[in-house]
Amino acid sequence: MVLSFGRTGNGTMAKAVQPGRKHRVHPKLETIKERVEERVLGLKTSRNELSRRAGLGLSYLNDLLSGKSLNPTREGLTKLAPVLDCDYAYLVGEQDTPRTAATGVLPQNVEPVTLVMKSITLYQTGLTDPDGFFALNDSRRAPFVMPLSNDVYCIAVPDDTMAPRFRVGEVVIVNPNKQVGHGGFAVVHQTDGRVAIREVVTISIDKITVRMLGDGTVVDLPRSQVKALDRIIGSCELG
């Protein structure tokens, strides 16, 4: 039993809190952290970038390795494993090598994860309008093949308005079905049909506040002018 202290009108009062009720700890947490850190160091890529590639949010690996995240889910680790070039079973200590043998035999009770290569829409872009917005032109659509579901699309970054996070010529991967939170990045769809890539600062009932990282400009967009916010889940360089 753990004692938690709180203040009342008469002073400080201790109350009993059942351990594990609020912060459930994964039984293999230390093994997971050790093996994840080993793979991250071997890849020599930033934690934020690896988290983004896995579609788990920028702070996923930092939270896990710092001890802030105590109970990583199977779903999250399954998404992370291919990015770390290993199997889920390796991360949780169910196999000794990062990858299973070429025979394709999986350890007991480990389900295979199938990634299907699909062609999704990539919008090539030209110069932006003076306010930074631009049109998604159907005549400039191109196929972009990667292992993602059909509900995502890509946009080529048109300028350095969002540098250094997104630079001109990069491709942002967009999932319109994922929630956009404060501090996240999104494709902002205006009611006039134009879009822009922005950091979402706040979302309120009458306005959406966005930021351009390049010069730090913050703009309030009336909700009546915003049709949708599509969450950016990752980016990669055009080959």
User: Do the Cβ atoms of 12 and 6 come closer than 8 Å?
Assistant: yes
Q: What Å distances lie between residue 118 and 52, 61, 121, 201, 235, CA to CA?
A: 19, 27, 10, 33, 17
Share of the chain above pLDDT 70, in %: 74
Which fold, 23-91? 434 Repressor (Amino-terminal Domain) (1.10.260)
| 140 DSSP assignment | G
Task: Parse the chain into domains and list their residue ranges.
Answer: 23-91, 118-237
235: pLDDT strictly greater than 50: no
* Residue-level pLDDT at 106: 41
**CB contact at 8 A, 113 and 81:** yes
Average pLDDT (122-126) is 75
Same fold, 23-91 and 118-237: no
Dihedrals phi, psi of 128, to nearest 5 degrees: -85, 165
Mean pLDDT of 215-227: 93
Q: Provide the token pair at 87.
A: 């199997």
Residue 145: what pLDDT? Answer: 59
DSSP codes joined into one string, 165-231: TS-TTEEEEEETTSPP-TT-EEEEEETTSEEEEEEEEEE-SSEEEEE-TTT--EEEEEGGGEEEEEE
Buried b (16+ CB within 10 A) or exposed e, 108-126: eebeeeeeeeeebbbbbbe
CATH of 118-237, one of 2.10.109.10, 3.40.50.360, 2.60.120.20, 3.40.1410.10: 2.10.109.10
* Two tokens, residue 231: 């969450």
Element (H, E) at 65: helix 60-66
Q: Is the pLDDT of residue 18 over 60?
A: no
If pLDDT is split at 50, 70 and 90, which confidence band does 41 have?
Answer: confident
Average pLDDT over residues 47-57: 87
Per residue in 150-196, pLDDT (tens digit) is 567 888 898 999 988 888 888 888 888 788 878 889 999 999 989 99
Is the pLDDT confidence value at 60 over 80? Answer: yes
Across residues 192-219, what is the average pLDDT? 92
- Strand 170-175 with 226-237, pairing: antiparallel
Give the H/E segment covering residue 144: strand 141-146
Average pLDDT of the chain, as a whole number: 78
